[in-house]
A = this chain, B = another copy of it.
Amino acid sequence: MNMILLFEDDFVGEGRVRLSGRRLRHILDIHRAKIGDELSVGLLNGGRGTGTVHFICEEGLDMDVSLFRPPPPPLPLTLILSLPRPKMLRRVLFSSSSLGVKKIFLINSYRVDKSYWQTPFLSGGHVRQQLMLGLEQAKDTVLPDVHLRPRFKPFVEDDLPGLVGSATALVAHPSAAEPCPRDIGGPVVLAVGPEGGFIPYEIEKMLSSGFRQVHLGERILRVEIAVPYIISRLF
C-alpha cells in the first residue's frame, strides 16, 4: 500500500481520522510509524495528501489529514472482459484499478465456464476490496465502476452502442490481421476474450457494433498479462 485510502466514515473530527484493522496493521508493521510521521493518504473519490500521526498504539491510530492535490488522471478506457476464473479475476481487477481503468464490464461469452458466475468473489464486497487495493498501490482515489453482464447478446445489443459512441473500439483476437495500435491518444473501448478466445459469432457481433479486431503478436498471453500489455500500448 503506497497510499492509505481513507473513507468519510474514518473522520472523527475536522481533518482528523481514526483507523484500525488492516490499515492500522499495515502502518504499524510496514511503515513502523511513530507520532509525528507523515504518511501518504487519499480520500476515496476525493483528493490526496498527507496524514500526520497524532496518536498510535496497537488498538488504533489518529492522523491529522491534509488533502491538497487531485487524484492522477484516469485512463480514457472502457474495459470489457469475458469473466475470467476467480483467481485471474482478482489479479485483473487489481491491475486494472492500479493502471487507472475506471469502467469495467465483466461479460459472459461462449467459452466462459458457467461456474465462474457462481464464485463468492463476485458478491459481498470482494470486488470493491480488490479495486481499492489497486488504488492504494497506484496512489489513486477514484473507485472504478464494475458492471456484471451475465448475458452476451443483450449486452452487445443494448449496452455496446452507447459504450462505443465515438471511441475507438478494439477487440483483442489472436487471428486478427491488424496489430494492436500504439499511443492512440483518445478514448478506447477494449474487449478481451476468455481463455480460448471469443467464438466467431461473438466476434461478428462486435464487428457489427463498430469494433476492429487487433492481435498482440504470435504469443498467446494470459488475460492478467494481456490487459496491462494492451493498456501500455494504447496509452
A residues apposed to B, CB below 8 Å: 2, 72, 95, 98-100, 137-140, 182-183, 217-222, 225, 228-233
Contact = CB atoms under 8 A, between A and B. Distances in A.
Contacts of A217: 72
A101 B140 CA distance: 31
Nearest to A3: B220
Contacts of A139: 218-220
B72 A220 contact: no
Contact of A219 (B140, B183, B221, B233): B140
Given A2-B220, A220-B2, A232-B232, A99 B138 contact: no
Given A99-B219, A138-B219, 17 more contacts: A72-B217, A95-B222, A95-B225, A98-B219, A98-B220, A98-B225, A99-B229, A137-B220, A137-B221, A137-B222, A221-B228, A228-B228, A228-B229, A229-B231, A229-B232, A232-B233, A233-B233
Contacts of A219: 72, 98-100, 138-140
Contacts of A221: 95, 98-99, 137-138, 228
Contacts of A232: 228-230, 232-233
Contacts of A229: 99, 228-229, 231-232
A7 to B, nearest CB: 21
A95 B228 CA distance: 12
Given A182-B183, A183-B182, A225 B228 contact: yes
Nearest to A139: B220
